[in-house]
């Protein structure tokens, strides 16, 4: 029984058979899918490694993708390619389909030849070190002449995690050579080039004849080995398939809104998984940007550590701005405690003035302890010049006064003795 209907259709024409015309309908409803399909109409095929079962709604695999597939829900065919030079030990890691074997840091530029030229839409890079959007540059060629190479004019990036990033760069023509260069190549482990995805799986079909057992259902079973008759590629079959969700929505019936923290003005995300196309707003991470940065990080990609001078044992700060939650350690100020106290002040909140007896015109002192950096003015001593010493002339005056007092006392005593005798 149908519980939801897809609202819009469009028609495309694909090669199928020279004898009959087949029409694929798009009646859409939620269905109980077999173990290797998913979606509202089971219209997508799972491509999980090791025969793993994918999520029946979103198609997410519990582990890695099957060989030859990658990307959101393992739905994208990975274009095959070869290096322009013979593979040596230094490049074997690029072709072993293993994200754990990586570049040894000896090359920062790689050029590959696509086995089948096609327009480029996006690629995925996986590294063994933290990567940033400016760590990769793409360039394209249609011939082997390097002078005919042109760069990607306006790449858009989406960080999946700290070591995985998608780069969107659409080319208007089929590409033969792709060059990837930059700092990120030094730690590159895998390069996936999208060759498209199946958009017409398990749709209902019909046909007006049955020639040489060429059935219309073979066009939508997700297999490429059904046709035995080369003539079957000479005519056409009309296929009607549901369109993707509008920007800003995803999931079953396009009923879910992309997270508000997807980067970009329209918060666009993948229409099946909800993965944000352009990465996350500063302060958030995750495929759908659903998580705020952990307490010790902030900013774009949660790549910035909170300042070590944030007060508290864990140096926590605001996940967007980096403002320290508990203020600053003594000797520092600013929202992120990024500044040492100005000359002339020190301590908590930079609220203490340096001692006026610190030497120098500006009485400068250490911004944390208050210790005078140029020593003390005359007659003063101590780390902060807080103690005053007694001068030699003062000691002499004290001695004279002391001696005079003692003399007076002796005279008084003598006078008292004489008075008693008399």
Q: pLDDT by residue (tens digit) across 129-187? A: 888 888 999 999 887 777 778 999 888 888 788 889 889 888 888 899 999 999 999 99
CA–CA separation, 109 and 103 (whole Å): 11
pLDDT in tens, 257-293: 888 898 877 778 887 778 887 788 899 988 888 889 9
> Which of 64-73, 82-91, 219-228 has the largest mean confidence?
64-73
In this prediction, residue 256 has a pLDDT band, given cuts at 50, 70 and 90, of: confident
CA–CA separation, 416 and 259 (whole Å): 104
Q: Which residues contact 10 (CB under 8 A, 6 or more apart)?
A: 240, 241, 243
In this prediction, residue 360 has a pLDDT band, given cuts at 50, 70 and 90, of: confident
For residue 41, pLDDT beyond 70: yes
- Site of tokens 């196309």: 277
CA–CA separation, 188 and 299 (whole Å): 24
Q: Which long-range contacts (CB under 8 A, 24 or more apart) does 307-313 make?
A: 307/336, 307/337, 307/338, 309/337, 309/338, 310/336, 310/337, 311/337
For residue 5, pLDDT beyond 70: no
**101-105, 112-116, 243-247: which range is least confident on average?**
243-247
Mean pLDDT of all residues in 245-268 = 82
Question: What pLDDT is recorded for position 408?
Answer: 59
Mean pLDDT of all residues in 218-225 = 65
Mean pLDDT of all residues in 116-134 = 90
Question: What pLDDT is recorded for position 14?
Answer: 36
Burial of 275 (0-12, 13-18, 19+ CB in 10 A): buried
The H-assigned helical ranges of 316-391 are none
Question: What pLDDT is recorded for position 42?
Answer: 77
Averaged pLDDT of the chain: 77
12 vs 107, which has greater pLDDT?
A: 107
Other Cβ atoms within 10 Å of 338 Cβ, number: 14
**10-19, 62-71, 85-94, 101-110: which range is least confident on average?**
10-19
For residue 219, the SS3 value is helix
pLDDT in tens, 75-102: 888 999 988 765 455 678 888 888 889 9
For residue 395, pLDDT beyond 70: no
Strand order in the sheet with 81-83: 81-83, 109-118, 175-181, 137-141, 150-151
219 vs 312, which has greater pLDDT?
A: 312
In this prediction, residue 248 has a pLDDT band, given cuts at 50, 70 and 90, of: confident
Burial of 172 (0-12, 13-18, 19+ CB in 10 A): exposed
CA–CA separation, 116 and 240 (whole Å): 27
């Amino acid at each position: 029984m149908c519980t939801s209907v897809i609202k819009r259709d469009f028609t495309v024409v694909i090669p199928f058979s020279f004898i009959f015309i087949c029409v694929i309908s798009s009646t859409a409803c939620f269905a109980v899918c077999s173990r290797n399909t998913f979606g509202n109409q089971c219209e997508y095929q799972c491509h999980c490694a090791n025969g793993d079962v994918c999520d029946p709604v979103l198609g997410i695999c519990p582990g890695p993708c099957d060989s030859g597939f990658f990307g959101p829900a393992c739905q994208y065919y990975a274009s095959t390619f070869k290096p322009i030079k013979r593979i040596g030990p230094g490049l074997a890691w690029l072709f072993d389909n293993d994200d754990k074997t990586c570049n040894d840091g000896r090359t920062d530029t790689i050029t590959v030849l696509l086995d089948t030229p096609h327009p480029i839409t996006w690629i995925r890079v996986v590294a063994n070190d933290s990567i940033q959007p400016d760590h990769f540059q793409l360039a394209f060629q249609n011939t082997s002449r390097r002078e005919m190479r042109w760069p990607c004019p306006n790449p858009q990036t989406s960080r999946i995690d700290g070591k995985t990033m998608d780069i969107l760069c659409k080319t208007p023509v089929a590409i033969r050579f792709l060059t990837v260069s930059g700092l990120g190549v030094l730690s590159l482990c895998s390069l996936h080039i999208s060759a498209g995805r199946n958009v017409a799986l398990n749709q209902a079909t019909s046909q007006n004849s049955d020639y040489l057992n060429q059935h219309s259902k073979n066009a939508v079973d997700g297999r490429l080995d059904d046709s035995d008759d080369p003539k079957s590629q000479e005519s056409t079959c009309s296929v009607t398939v549901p369109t993707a969700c509008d920007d800003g929505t995803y999931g079953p019936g396009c009923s879910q809104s992309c997270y508000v923290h997807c980067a970009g003005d329209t918060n666009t995300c993948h229409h099946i998984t909800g993965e944000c196309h352009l990465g996350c707003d500063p302060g958030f991470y995750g495929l759908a940007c659903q998580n705020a940065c952990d307490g010790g990080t902030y900013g774009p990609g949660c790549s910035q550590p909170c300042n070590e001078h944030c007060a508290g044992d864990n140096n926590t700060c605001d996940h967007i701005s980096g403002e320290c939650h508990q203020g600053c350690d003594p000797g520092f100020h600013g929202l992120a405690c990024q500044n040492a106290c100005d000359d002339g002040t020190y301590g908590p909140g930079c609220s203490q003035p340096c001692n006026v007896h610190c030497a120098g015109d500006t009485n400068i002192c250490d911004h944390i302890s208050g210790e005078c950096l140029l020593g003390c003015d005359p007659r003063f001593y101590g780390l902060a010049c807080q103690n005053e010493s007694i001068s030699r002339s003062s000691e002499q005056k004290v001695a004279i006064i002391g001696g005079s007092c003692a003399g007076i006392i002796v005279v008084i005593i003598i006078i008292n003795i004489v008075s008693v005798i008399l």
